Structures are given as C-alpha cells and as structure tokens.
Amino acid sequence: MKITISAVIATLALVCHSAYSETYDVELANKLGADEYGMKAYVMAFLKSGPHRDQGEDEAKALQKAHLDNIGRLAQEGKLVLAGPFLDDGLLRGIYIFNVTTIEEAKMLTESDPAIKAGRLVMELHPWYGSAALMQVNQIHQSIASKGI
C-alpha cells in the first residue's frame, strides 16, 4: 500500500480536528469571551519607571501598598487579568493585561493607580490578542497562593 503525503496530512488534520471538537467546551468559551480560536482581545500595559521616583522611603512604601491594593481591586472587578513585576530592576517595572478592548478603557483604569498619579510609574498601552483562558488566572491563583501580597 502506497501512503502519500496528502493522505498523512489529511489523517493528521482529522485527528487534530477531532481532538479539538472532543474537548471544546462551548459554555466555557462563551463565558470567557473566546472567539473560534479560543482567543480574545485585551490591552497589555508595560509599567515603566516614572519621572517622579524621589519619594522618601515611607512614602514610596505607602505608594507601593496603594498600588498593590489597586491591582487587587481591578482583579476583583474582572478588569485586570494578569499583573506582575519584572525582576531585573530595569526601566520596565512590570506588566498588566487588562480585560478591556480599547486603549481608552485601559487608560481610565491606569489612572486609578496611586503610583501612576504620583508619577512613580507610567504605562505604555498596546492592544493585544491572547488566550481567553487567561480570564481564569486570578481564580486559579487564589487556589494556589497560601499568602497574600
């Protein structure tokens, strides 16, 4: 029996298609706002060192706590899908992924951050397309964190 490349590709496509159709959860996809690829639009923010980082130690600590509290509030509201700092102490301080579709919406959310208001941080915003599964990160995180920030 002669096997052609076309037959192998067709078989692989059929196997891949059936794997997706067997695991596809339409309810979950709809709940998470997923498109047919399991993706959705977000806005990604790069947090950068701002022009006003000359606060005293106590004020800088208070701003950091207020910044973290704001992150928690936005996550609780479902507006912030992911947040985290970079660990190399460079100009880029961290990232946010907002559950919004426009830069304007994300800009309004960033303006609620006390560290942004104080000029300690600035944000660069970009539309981003990623997995809708990110919408479950905060819920999963709560299940695996034994200590709060």
> For 58-100, how does the pLDDT look when each residue is reduced to its tens digit (9 = 90+)?
998 999 999 999 999 999 999 999 999 999 988 899 999 999 9
Reduced to 3 states, what is the DSSP secondary structure of residue 105?
Answer: helix
Burial zone of 107 (CB within 10 Å; 0-12 exposed, 13-18 middle, 19+ buried): middle
Res 4 pLDDT > 90: no
Res 23 pLDDT > 90: no
Res 19 pLDDT > 50: no
Res 7 pLDDT > 90: no
Average pLDDT, stretch 20-48?
91
Res 104 pLDDT > 50: yes
Reduced to 3 states, what is the DSSP secondary structure of residue 52?
Answer: coil
Rounded CA separation 92/95 (Å): 8
Instruction: Write out pLDDT tens, residues 105-143.
Output: 999 999 999 999 999 999 999 999 999 999 999 888 889
Closest CA to 27 of 137, 132, 144: 132
Q: Which two three-digit tokens encode residue 13?
A: 């496509």
